[in-house]
Amino acid sequence: MPPFDETARVGPSAGQVRRPPAARAANGGGAAGPRRPAAPSRSRATASRSGEARPPAARSGGGGGRPPVKPPTGGRRPGGSGSGAGRPPGGAGKKRTGKQRRRRFLKFVAGAFLGMLVLLGVFVGVVYASTEVPSPDSITNKQTTVLYYADGVTEMARLSDGENRTSVPLAQISEPARNAVLAAENRGFYSDPGISFTGIARAAWNNVTGGSTQGGSTITQQYVKNAILNSDQTFSRKFKELFLAVKLDNEYSKDEILENYLNTIYFGRGAYGIETAANTYFGVPASQLTAEQGAVLAVLIRNPSANDPETNPEGAQKRWGLVLDAMVEAGWVDPAARTPMAYPPVQPRTGANLGIPSGPEGLIVEQVLDELTGPGMGFENVEGAGLRVTTTIDKGHQDAAVAAVNDVMDGEDPGLRQALVAVDPRTGGVVAYYGNKQHGSDDPTVDTTDYAQAYKQPGSSFKPYTVATALQNGFSVDTRRDGTSPQEFPDREREVVNSGNAQCAACTIKEAVTRSLNTTFYGLAYDLGPAKVAEQARAAMGIGETWPDDGSVPETLRGKTSLASPENGQTGGAIGIGEYEVRPIDQAVGFATLAAGGMYHERHFVAQVADTTGAVLRTVTGAENARPVIPAEVASDTTFAMEDVAKSSKRALEGNRPVASKTGTQGLGAENSDAWMVGFTPSISTAVWMGTQGIAPIRDAQGKIIYGSGLPGQIWQQFMDAALAGTPEEPLPAKAVIKADPQVDDVAEATTEAPASTSQAPVTQEQQQATQAPAPSTAAQSTGAAESRARERARAEAERARQAAASNSSAAAARSTASTSSVPEPTATPEPQPAQPSAPVQPIPTPSTN
């Protein structure tokens, strides 16, 4: 018989586990006593069905009694039941709740964070201890900034040669002047720890998000940046600046820091330090500066070039008032004394230009400085920052521009003014720039105006934008339009005439471009809607809807709507013939957009900025802000429409190189006041303007009226030939690709005059000028053209009324169905229609363009 009861359970069962009885020990020292059989509670068959087996009994001593029962492996502990079976006593190994897990995670995060803080504290302590602040006496403040041509080797200007500085103790700087600087730059200077945490955070956020670089630095930080570091807008430089500023604030008194700052900062006009600036701008020592004078100097700290009271009087005075208001808020100026304060007289600029060239290149340097200190770059104290700036100006192109102007204007009226701007259509970089032959002259009678930035009426050189607008609204370059002269239009009191009163009752748009027919393009702009033409031109040239409200814009245009009448802010059909002001640089950029297939690139003068070690701080490729503003096929056909102009104006390029161009003049009674020649190849777009310092008749040395194809065309032609010499010929579109909308009118059927043959040589500008009377025409021709115009105007008025009714109907339907649809169906516009001005546009004094 086996030594154990075979009915004992040895594994887990589906039911309750019975604990076997404890074994009894023998009375003797280890002899086994009589075995007491355990009465089975179930039959052997029942145990088998339940999956139960009885375990062997434990024996004690030398074998007496039953052996202890071993816990089953892989099953429940005997005596246990439910889900708790098999767990250690006392609840050990219990599964954690969600709250316990979260608490454990938070403890881990807190520990990690505290560990990081400890490591950061150690790091900061080590860096702080190892940071050495140079003494003010050991700092070399002179850091020459060098400007290079596009090759990165040939120097254009070295800006801080001949540094002008006189240091004085703080006691010799008037208290009002000190307070003005504090009000403008750091009102909390005497209470801050040397750094501005909010300013650093704001600058970091703008760097991360791609926003404009910002300052927000304390005076201590500015001193560190300008005197010890550089203007590099990077995290590493800001990091160094922070530690140096904190340690400087701990090792030097506030008065010492302020004194060093005021003796270091650049105020423009070659003046470093407030003592030199006081003498340069007011002819007095710093100890005698008044609050008004101190505010003038305080305004210059942020941007000496842009805030010079001579170059930007309006902007400088506006900021001057803000500084004085801040001084009142800080309690440094009595409010009663603030009211009578007036802007103090400032001495004129002298020849101290820190190495800026006095010739045409000096105007380029000014543009570079404005770009570097502008919102897109944000560099400060450029002249003394030790930068290495590579410009976009090509040395060969620049020399060619200067030579072309000098050669053509030799012997001409010295009262004539010229401007030439050449742009690379692929990048927007300005490759040649001529605004005046003088810059920074000490003689107040010498005109140093930058005419490349002057606002002048472009005349017929503006017509390509009208063509581009028409091609997007159902027209093609083969659409025929009425070009008879004169014509009347509803938005103009005076008749529109063609140059020389040229006639063409049914010229194609391409022919009208070549012959420069004013009546064709005035009517086309009026019928398209003048606002559409203005919108397209702004996009191509990259100008805003309003002109800037500062000293760079003529007073009559400041803050006014661009490409509109300054009197009432409305754009009329006159935009089609260029009677609204733009700048030569705008025209160069606008035509560059056409040359680039409709892709606009923002014009720029800076290609790369590096520090004194050669480390690149900023690179400009032109792709940063590039965007399509004209459909490619529209740009192609507009270019095609312009390809005969240079040849017809006797300004074809050498070897008959393909080029698209447009001449333009602005009339002044029987004279001209402005003359233009603008044109491009795929690799260069050049605009040339000629006029006077104001608005006056322009004539050449022979006493002849100057037209666009005259002296301006000659300068343009010579420059383009020189700039393109040795370069491969670049093709232009050989044919048009856009077909006219069938609903767009073709006036050929409405006239009895046979349309001009496209193979016929176009009428040159000189031929137009020689024509003093209308070309002979039959009564049928005149009647046909008049009837055509009348029908066209009547149909346009009727269509406007129909569109207005349809619009009202659509609006009513949209309101009635607003519960089911939030977007009403658009009203179909089958063909371009003339826009009706809300009020009559005032006539422009200049009667005609060509």
CA angle at residue 766 from 764 to 767, to 5 degrees? 65
Sign (positive or negative) of CA dihedral 164, 170, 172, 177: positive
CA distance 380 to 392: 21
CA distance 432 to 423: 7
Cβ neighbours of 235 (radius 10 Å): 12
Integer CA distances (angstroms), 801 to 741, 804, 833, in order: 21, 5, 11
Question: What DSSP state is assigned to residue 496?
Answer: B
Find the helix packing angle between 291-300 and 274-282, rounded to 10°.
110
Going across the sheet that includes 146-148, the strands are 155-158, 146-148, 388-391, 606-610, 616-619
339 φ, ψ to 5°? -60, -45
Beta bridge partners of 849: 666
Task: Please name the amino acid found at residue 410.
Answer: D
CA dihedral 447, 449, 451, 455 (to 10 degrees): -120
Cβ neighbours of 828 (radius 10 Å): 8
Q: Please name which of 743, 785, 795 lies closest in space to residue 482, comparing C-alpha atoms.
A: 785
CA angle at residue 774 from 771 to 780, to 5 degrees? 145
Question: What DSSP state is assigned to residue 451?
Answer: G
532 φ, ψ to 5°? -65, -40
Q: Please name which of 765, 661, 667 lies closest in space to residue 716, comparing C-alpha atoms.
A: 661
423 φ, ψ to 5°? -125, 145
Q: Are 167 and 273 in contact (CB under 8 A)?
A: yes
Copy the structure tokens of residue 334. 């009595």
Residue 812: its H or E element: helix 779-816
Q: Which residues of 376-404 are buried (b: 16+ CB within 10 A; e: fewer)?
A: bbbbbbbbbbbbbbbbbbbbebbebbbeb
Rg of the chain's alpha carbons, rounded to an integer?
43
SS3 393: coil
Q: Are 715 and 677 in contact (CB under 8 A)?
A: yes
Q: Are 435 and 638 in contact (CB under 8 A)?
A: no
SS3 210: coil
DSSP E strand boundaries for 104-215: 146-148, 155-158, 164-165
Pairing of strands 417-423, 430-434: antiparallel
Only one residue has tokens 């307070």, namely 179
Q: Please name which of 178, 216, 186 lies closest in space to residue 200, comparing C-alpha atoms.
A: 216
Which is catalytic among the residues 52, 163, 185, 643? 185
Asked, as a colleague might, if the bond just before 631 is cis with ω within 30 of 0, I would say no
Q: Please name which of 142, 194, 211, 16 lies closest in space to residue 612, comparing C-alpha atoms.
A: 142
Which is catalytic among the residues 174, 460, 709, 788? 460
Task: Please name the amino acid found at residue 559.
Answer: G
Q: Are 387 and 607 in contact (CB under 8 A)?
A: no
Active site residue 460: yes
Copy the structure tokens of residue 317. 């005075």
Q: Which residues of 634-659 are buried (b: 16+ CB within 10 A; e: fewer)?
A: bbbbbbbbbbbbbbbbebbbeeebbb
- Name the maximum alpha-carbon separation found in the chain: 155
Q: Are 359 and 369 in contact (CB under 8 A)?
A: no
- Residues annotated as part of the active site: 185, 460
